[in-house]
Chains A and B, each alone.
Chain A
Amino acid sequence: MQAYIARRLAALVPTLLFASLIVFISMRLIPGDVIDLMLAQNDIATGQDRAKIEAALGLDQPMYVQYFRWIWGVLQGDLGISLWQNVPVADQLLATLPITFELGFLALLVALTVALPIGIYSAMRQDTAGDYVARSFSLLMLAVPGFWLGTLVMVFPSVWWRWAPDLEYTPFFEDPLKNLSHMIVPAILLGLSMSAVTMRMTRTMMLEVLRQDYIRTARAKGVSERLVIVRHALRNGLIPVVTLIGLQAPLLIGGAVIFEQIFVVPGMGLLLLEAVFQRDYPVVSGVFLVVGVGVLFINLVVDVSYGWLDPKVRHQ
């Protein structure tokens, strides 16, 4: 097992290198570079200033030199300095990552508590009214864009009931309740949008599993319907669902960008959004590095959890 995990971790390196290269190049291909923005903001526009700033920020070098400088820094644990804020990117990431992690974690929790029971229920009551309601709900959640739903939740309750979601961020360890009262709305919305696919998958897999011969065997032994589901069907049905959750990890990040913006959550998504607008190259590269490591790590956890779910994998 350790050897397997080590091999998987080693395989992360080329993937991350490739991803960082793409981010590096694409950021610099977006029209309008950081110098233009800085000059426009400060109302100075002479060629001399431009060259000076470029040199100061190290942007006068050829692109490959910049890239290798960045990589060299990363290898030494230095992610560079924000072009605008003049603070180390690593510090910004350390400040924002836990917030986004909390949002993602809560959203995942919401997604699973919604998707698994409804998916199982839907499979057990296939083609009944309850099943149709559950499936329609999941289709709706799939179809409704998160930013629109988020805006609705911001606007309508305040018009109807003079209530609006809390928009002030409080660190969790300062006041957990206040923190949760702010985070819970974006977490629920993000979780619901994730739950749609997971619910469909859970339903499909449970239907598939409930048709299997070993379920009939369990019933023939006198196992109750509840135990048939919990002991005999669920673990078999969950194997592909766990894969799906791993595949949805990038979705979680994308969703965080949207919901952090709407609900003013000072997380990594918001950091990324601002950095992209401002062409703050090192920040964007840093965020994507963390996202890349995060996604690959989640998928590693997913692979390892197969061992727990599927005994056939465990012994290979």
Chain B
Amino acid sequence: MSLPAPALLDISDLSVSFRTDRGTVRAVQGVSLEVRAGETLAIVGESGSGKSVTALSILGLLGDAGSVDGGRILFDGEDLLALDDDAIRDIRGDRIAMIFQEPMSSLNPVLTVGKQVAEPIRLHRRVPWREAYARAAELLERVRIPDAAHRLGDYPHHFSGGMRQRVMIAMALACRPRLIIADEPTTALDVTVQAQILALLKELTREADSALILITHDLGVVARYADRVAVMYAGRIVETAPARTLYGAPAHPYTEGLMASIPGVDGAIGARLPTIEGQPPDLARLPPGCPFAPRCQHVLDVCGTVPPPLERVAERHLRACYRDG
């Protein structure tokens, strides 16, 4: 057995909180993740589970209200949290790129699409605009925008949602990043377009040998595109495993619940889809023990005391649960 290559991205014990009027919201608590070069990691969870916040803290894009309380984010051996503004800015869009959820609002309405795609190239490669535009035209062609060279001068409102997300992908690929973070890249799109965009994203990241963090709440997406999955609940990772393992043998009650609530083609017509009863906890008033305990069908006495640690259940398969088996 060869030694595993050192991770491209190594997050350990990351905690992030937001100051709000209602008090301190603990959005992410003790999250540890690894992404290897060229790998696709899916982070799955419902809204408020901390998956987007984890992604934003990698690039230092939390804004004024959010603060990293602890942990370390190593990228290529460099601690991103220790970098100053200029240094992290050099990494953004160059070695790590991000794709956001809302293609309709994530592009600047008053700048041409060509300019927006060319901008990171101009910034990080320090080439003349003319050259950056030529490269932007190639990129738009790569994401299969018809007649790409003639659309550089068009504005975002000339494009449909799916086409805009292609523009976002082109923009993310512009500097051939080692890591692309896609935060719910297809949630705002029509179902028919979703699959196209994900396939394109997967294909192009593989071509460029970039690693991909795919943030989603859709386990169906995970099954087709991810190598590995991390399931988040209330700011913590509750289970992480290779995608196939997770599907075959989910080990955390929350993951089991998520799996059960995916509608299948073989399900009986008219049968009720199972749901997970209750609501996710208020992140400003977290219970002392396992955050999932109030909704858990297998709850034990110990669950209400201390949150369970993430422990190995099998090869590369970890979960945070006190239940046996």
Q: Which positions in A face B, CB cutoff 8 Å?
A: 212-214, 216-224, 231-232, 235-236, 309-312
Task: Flag if B107 contacts A214 (CB, 8 Å).
Answer: yes
Residue of B nearest to A126 (CB): B64
Q: Which stretch, B94-102, B218-226, B254-262, touches the partner chain A?
A: B94-102
The answer to whether the Cβ of B108 comes within 8 Å of any Cβ in the partner chain is: yes
The answer to whether the Cβ of B91 comes within 8 Å of any Cβ in the partner chain is: yes
Interfacial chain A residues near B92, Cβ < 8 Å: 219-222
How far does the alpha carbon of A265 sit from the alpha carbon of B55 in the complex, in Å?
62
How far does the alpha carbon of A212 sit from the alpha carbon of B106 in the complex, in Å?
8
Residue of B nearest to A212 (CB): B105
Task: Flag if A312 contacts B111 (CB, 8 Å).
Answer: no
Known contacts A220-B61, A311-B157: does B110 contact A236 (CB below 8 Å)? yes
Q: Which of these, A213, A220, A222, contacts B105 with CB under 8 Å?
A: A213
Chain B contact residue count (CB 8 A cutoff) = 27
How far does the alpha carbon of A153 sit from the alpha carbon of B171 in the complex, in Å?
55
Task: Flag if A311 contacts B91 (CB, 8 Å).
Answer: no
How far does the alpha carbon of A221 sit from the alpha carbon of B124 in the complex, in Å?
9
Interfacial chain A residues near B162, Cβ < 8 Å: none
Residue of A nearest to B95 (CB): A222
Q: Which of these, B91, B157, B171, contacts A312 with CB under 8 Å?
A: B157
How far does the alpha carbon of A218 sit from the alpha carbon of B89 in the complex, in Å?
11
How far does the alpha carbon of A224 sit from the alpha carbon of B106 in the complex, in Å?
17
Q: Which positions in B face A, CB cutoff 8 Å?
A: 59, 61, 89-94, 97-98, 100, 102, 105-111, 119-120, 123-124, 155, 157, 168, 171
Interfacial chain B residues near A221, Cβ < 8 Å: 92-93, 97, 119-120, 123, 171
How far does the alpha carbon of A218 sit from the alpha carbon of B168 in the complex, in Å?
11
User: Separation in Å of the A108 CB from the closest CB of chain B?
Assistant: 23
Known contacts A213-B102, A220-B92: does B109 contact A311 (CB below 8 Å)? yes
Known contacts A219-B61, A220-B93, A222-B124: does B100 contact A311 (CB below 8 Å)? no
Task: Flag if B93 contacts A312 (CB, 8 Å).
Answer: no
Task: Flag if B110 contacts A310 (CB, 8 Å).
Answer: yes
Known contacts A236-B109, A311-B110: does B59 contact A220 (CB below 8 Å)? yes
Interfacial chain A residues near B97, Cβ < 8 Å: 220-221
Known contacts A213-B105, A222-B89, A222-B91: does B120 contact A232 (CB below 8 Å)? no
Interfacial chain B residues near A220, Cβ < 8 Å: 59, 61, 92-93, 97-98, 100
Q: Which of these, A219, A222, A309, contacts B90 with CB under 8 Å?
A: A222
How far does the alpha carbon of A312 sit from the alpha carbon of B124 in the complex, in Å?
30
Q: Which of these, A216, A222, A232, contacts B93 with CB under 8 Å?
A: A222
Task: Flag if A312 contacts B109 (CB, 8 Å).
Answer: yes
User: Separation in Å of the A224 CB from the closest CB of chain B?
Assistant: 6
Task: Flag if B155 contacts A222 (CB, 8 Å).
Answer: no
Known contacts A222-B93, A231-B111: does B155 contact A311 (CB below 8 Å)? yes
The 8 A-B residue pairs whose C-beta atoms are closest, nearest first, are: A221-B93, A222-B93, A222-B92, A213-B105, A220-B98, A214-B108, A311-B155, A213-B106
Interfacial chain A residues near B93, Cβ < 8 Å: 220-223
Known contacts A222-B92, A222-B124, A312-B155: does B108 contact A216 (CB below 8 Å)? no
Interfacial chain B residues near A231, Cβ < 8 Å: 111
Q: Which of these, A217, A223, A235, A312, contacts B107 with CB under 8 Å?
A: A217
How far does the alpha carbon of A219 sit from the alpha carbon of B19 in the complex, in Å?
22
Residue of A nearest to B91 (CB): A222
Residue of B nearest to A235 (CB): B110
Task: Flag if B111 contacts A232 (CB, 8 Å).
Answer: yes
Residue of A nearest to B108 (CB): A214
User: Separation in Å of the A152 CB from the closest CB of chain B?
Assistant: 40
How far does the alpha carbon of A219 sit from the alpha carbon of B62 in the complex, in Å?
11
Residue of B nearest to A232 (CB): B108
User: Separation in Å of the A255 CB from the closest CB of chain B?
Assistant: 32
With A213-B105, A216-B100, A223-B89 known, 19 other A-B pairs at CB within 8 A are A212-B105, A213-B106, A214-B108, A217-B100, A217-B106, A217-B107, A218-B119, A219-B92, A220-B93, A220-B97, A221-B120, A221-B171, A222-B93, A222-B120, A222-B123, A224-B89, A231-B111, A232-B108, A236-B109
Interfacial chain A residues near B90, Cβ < 8 Å: 222
How far does the alpha carbon of A217 sit from the alpha carbon of B59 in the complex, in Å?
12
Supply 6 A–B pairs (Cβ within 8 Å), ascending by A.
Answer: A216-B61, A217-B98, A217-B108, A220-B59, A222-B90, A223-B93
User: Separation in Å of the A239 CB from the closest CB of chain B?
Assistant: 8
How far does the alpha carbon of A234 sit from the alpha carbon of B89 in the complex, in Å?
21
How far does the alpha carbon of A236 sit from the alpha carbon of B92 in the complex, in Å?
23
User: Separation in Å of the B293 CB from the closest CB of chain A?
Assistant: 35
User: Separation in Å of the B59 CB from the closest CB of chain A?
Assistant: 6
How far does the alpha carbon of A279 sit from the alpha carbon of B173 in the complex, in Å?
73
Interfacial chain A residues near B106, Cβ < 8 Å: 213-214, 216-217
How far does the alpha carbon of A214 sit from the alpha carbon of B110 in the complex, in Å?
11
Task: Flag if A236 contacts B108 (CB, 8 Å).
Answer: yes
How far does the alpha carbon of A236 sit from the alpha carbon of B107 in the complex, in Å?
12
Residue of B nearest to A219 (CB): B61
Interfacial chain A residues near B168, Cβ < 8 Å: 217
How far does the alpha carbon of A216 sit from the alpha carbon of B52 in the complex, in Å?
13
User: Separation in Å of the A306 CB from the closest CB of chain B?
Assistant: 11
Interfacial chain A residues near B98, Cβ < 8 Å: 217, 220
Q: Which of these, A223, A236, A311, contacts B119 with CB under 8 Å?
A: A223
Residue of B nearest to A311 (CB): B155
Residue of A nearest to B104 (CB): A213
Residue of A nearest to B154 (CB): A311
How far does the alpha carbon of A309 sit from the alpha carbon of B111 in the complex, in Å?
10
User: Separation in Å of the A240 CB from the closest CB of chain B?
Assistant: 13
How far does the alpha carbon of A309 sit from the alpha carbon of B155 in the complex, in Å?
12
Known contacts A311-B110, A312-B157: does B94 contact A222 (CB below 8 Å)? yes
